[in-house]
Amino acid sequence: MTSKTIVGKTIVGAGLAVALLAAVASTALADDTPELTELSPDGKDACFGRIYDAAHLRVHPNQKVGRIFFYYGSDPVSHPNEEPSSGRSGYNGFLATTVRGAKRPEWVGGWCGTDDPQSGEIHCGMECDRTMALVNVDEKGRLIVSGVHRNLYLDAGAEDELGEKEFARQALGTEDDGFRLDRMPAQTCKAEFARIDPVDPALGTPLRERLKPDQPFCYGRDYDAAHLGSHPDQLTHTIRVFRGPIELAAFAKDGEPASWPGGAEIAVSVTTRQNAAKVTQSYSCDGEADQWRCVASGRTSDFSCDIAAREILLRRGANGTMMLANPNSSLPIVDLCSKATDGETASDDKVYRLEPMPQAACAP
């Protein structure tokens, strides 16, 4: 249920928009939910987990889950060097499972609470009124996790859409419920959740640290004939992403350095196979997760249509590069007001790996 991927991780993964909308609706719920002392008597983050051995799995052939961890507390998934999220999720319960043969866990987050503290049962819900699990602590301090549906990591209605055979392959097993987990140090759960998407040292520092509010930058790429010959559906010939004197002056006048990169303006210039004349479009950016979400603005163009939905996404790439995603025809390789730009990008102009360039390469 993570979000937006450019390469390897998210630059648009399933459910981010839904999660952000749900976050707004759930913030009050999360704020009003009392501390679950059953899970955390001292008020600190709590961790429960179990790794099943080969003997157990042999006796339970219909159990796919080999490792399971439940974490109650603050988000254990986000990396400390990612951009601050533009909205809080309100999640306080996280479940990670690794099925037999898998290299990494799958995970979900939800809101855990109880209407009847005397019952000891805690309900953990997810978006779209779905249940993540029912949990309670037994007399020995172990966490009992029940009510886990086989389609936990699939869309609602997946059984009908996928068919019986494919659903059985992708879903959890028929014995994947009623887990009994031992209490463990919080760091154990954090280490388990870190296996979901390990930080790549080659990515270096996030964009908000690499690109300073008062400094210009220029990234770009010129595609040669060989590349274009092997990508006949790519329109872009050259591309530049930059902040120059105009963008710096705009931020110095109206921007808030403490909220950087919120409100940062950038410009994107492109030429295409069909037109060697450079077209430049301005965007206004905000930090979100580990990327910048940049919305097209009318500063450089006089549009007769609403271009507020024309978004591009920027993310750090390996070894000092920048990744740019164009998921919904939001670059000026075509008329942004044209109906042809509605929906997903149809050409090969979806993801670009841009190299740092001298500022002169981005001059008007």
pLDDT digits 0-9 by tens, 109-120: 999 998 777 777
What is the C-alpha separation between 360 and 343, in angstroms, rounded? 34
| pLDDT, tens digit, 9 for 90 and up, residues 238-249 | 999 999 999 999
Q: Does position 16 have pLDDT exceeding 50, yes or no?
A: no
| pLDDT the model gives residue 2 | 35
Is 335 in contact with 341 (CB distance < 8 Å)? Answer: yes
Mapped onto helix, strand or coil, the DSSP state of residue 339 is: helix
Sequence spans of domains, the chain: 16-199, 207-362
Q: Which CATH class is domain 207-362?
A: mainly beta
Nearest of 251, 271, 248, 242 to residue 331 by alpha carbon = 271
What is the C-alpha separation between 188 and 69, in angstroms, rounded? 9
- What DSSP string describes 15-73? THHHHHHHHHHHHHHHHHSPP-TTT-TTSS-EEEEEE--HHHHHH-TT--EEEEEEEES
Tell me which of 356 and 3 has the higher pLDDT.
356
Is 96 in contact with 184 (CB distance < 8 Å)? Answer: no
User: Could you give the count of Cα atoms lying within 13 Å of 133 in the half-sphere of its Cβ?
Assistant: 27
pTM: 0.63
| pLDDT, tens digit, 9 for 90 and up, residues 126-148 | 988 899 999 999 999 999 999 99
Mean pLDDT of 227-241: 95
What is the C-alpha separation between 277 and 274, in angstroms, rounded? 9
DSSP annotation of 188: H
What tokens appear for 4 in the block?
């937006």
Q: Provide the H-helix boundaries in 211-357.
A: 225-230, 245-254
